[in-house]
Structure 1
Amino acid sequence: MQAEAPAGRVGVVLVSHSRAVAESAAALAGALVGTGDPAPVAPAGGLPDGSIGTSAELVRRAVASADEGAGVVVLCDMGSAVLTVKALLTEKEFATVRIADAPFVEGAVAAVVTASAGGDMTAVLAAADDARTYRKL
């Protein structure tokens, strides 16, 4: 009997009303990891035609892309992005997906850095949430 392969790292999905915002935040978070081997991070921004909005189908694709078997943390920018993800969380295929209650950019960076270092779902969610307390003054 073969041993089951270990799960990969926690993936991160960034859901924004804007494709450009989601893609830029994903690129920034990946670049700030510093190891050259960031955890999977996938943007899900805008509608399929490129306009502003939130698409459940793009979120589904991004989750599938970021999932290495250790779960996926989703960060949302606001409003309907949050509602779309919450609706998807009720589906069976989203059983290992969690939404982070965190600031979008700071939370994304903290989540990707923590996931890249091998943090589990609890650690990645905590890091994203902790980003809320980063003081600028």
Structure 2
Amino acid sequence: MNTISKIESWADTHHPRWIDFIRVALGLFILYKGIMFISNTQPLMEMMANIDLQFFNLALAHYVAFAHLVGGFFIALGLLTRFSIVFQIPILIGAVFFVNIDQGFLSVANNMEFEISLIVLVLLIVFLIYGSGKFSLDYWMKNHPYW
């Protein structure tokens, strides 16, 4: 636990203010992708049709939708940021390594979904280390505990 405290302390002292705007944009983008996922779950069902675990498909679709909607909103607000990112990372790892890798790197045919997924995964890892920053509800609640 001491290592985690040291990482948090280092990240708090080395957190540039401009990176908070990237966190907000990332959260809004993940929220948008969650809304788009809810509006069209058919590609996931078609991809998972080979597996006879229909309950798994349904559970996976609900997990992705919930994690993107709630997690994206929380990341944008800077509320429970690291906790929300932990739920996003498995989804993005699946998107990068299992879903979009077959379509190729810098492929125009897939509208660059692989590259976008990779960038979002890298940004999630960055904010897992850096945290939410000074323009966040986490920071505000830390400084105003009895508001």
Same fold (TM over 0.5): no
Structure in which a larger fraction of residues adopt strand? 1
TM bucket normalised to smaller: under 0.3
In terms of Rg, which structure is larger?
Answer: 2
TM-score (norm 2): 0.24
TM-score (norm 1): 0.25
